[in-house]
Amino acid sequence: MKIPRHVAIIMDGNGRWAKRRGLPRIKGHQRGAQVLHNTVKWSLELGIEYLTAYSFSTENWKRPKEEVEFLMNLFIQMVDREMELLKKERVRVKILGRKKGLPENVLKKWNEVEEKTCNFDRMTLIIAFNYGGRKEILDAVESIIGEVRNGKEVILTEEIFRRYLYLPDVPDPDLIIRTSGEMRLSNFLIWQSAYSELYFTKRLWPDFTKKDFLRAIESYSKRERRFGGLSDG
């Protein structure tokens, strides 16, 4: 199988999973966090180099206060809970998103997990948190305007522009998976997904299994990527 170097996942359907069971939405997120833990393990087994998980979007602030608070705390708990696995498997963590607007305790964990794992090199796990693709592009434009105002000459090419994104050294995702049957990107990696292969499954995120993951990778494996060029044969 051809293994994608970078897989990004929109982990959707936690709320519906909980609702179908008559449970509060947060139970779906709890279970979803466990599935994310499993996905890290499957990715390590397959030799995937970068795994990105959309965990909290800049639009998620619109949710009820209790749910937002729960997701903030889940971020902190997950970092604490997963530290052992990260060390054992040499996984580097990077957080993708806007620091502005996040509570102090979340920012502290953000810095802590990045610092503690920065020398690990087996895989990079990217947690998109307080992330929005359009905001990322606006933030990049704002940085460029700032530099130009300070007298720097910026010649805009695609390569130069990407250096102003939040994580310029991370390669674009080869495969984006979205669960729960929705077929849209919802402001995820807008710049980076230009040539990504997309895979949609009806499975709700808390029910996502290794078999589902392998099915997505297998589908990717069979696709021919031309990046606007012509096929070889």
Q: Count of CB atoms within 10 A of residue 108's CB?
A: 13
Contact (CB, 8 A) for 129 and 114 = no
Q: Residue 126 carries which side chain, given as an amino acid letter?
A: I
Interaction between residue 36 and ligand FPP (CB under 6 A): yes
Q: In whole angstroms, what is the distance from residue 138 CA to residue 123 CA?
A: 29
12 carries an active-site annotation: yes
Which two tokens mark 200? 């949609």
Name the active-site residue from 60, 139, 172, 207: 60
Is 80 one of the annotated active-site residues of the chain?
A: no
Token pair of 25 as six digits: 């939405």
Give the DSSP H or E segment for 39.
Answer: helix 25-46
Q: Which two tokens stand for residue 14?
A: 């936690």
CB of 158 to ligand FPP, least distance (A): 30
Q: Does 140 bind ligand FPP (CB under 6 A)?
A: no
Taking CB atoms, the residue at the shortest distance from ligand FPP is 15
Interaction mask 175-194, ligand FPP, x per CB under 6 A: --------------------
Asked if 16 is part of the footprint of ligand FPP (rule: CB under 6 A), the reply reads yes
- Binding positions for ligand FPP, rule: CB under 6 A: 11-16, 29, 32-33, 36, 55-56, 60, 71, 74-75, 78, 127, 205
Q: Which of the residues are catalytic?
A: 12, 60
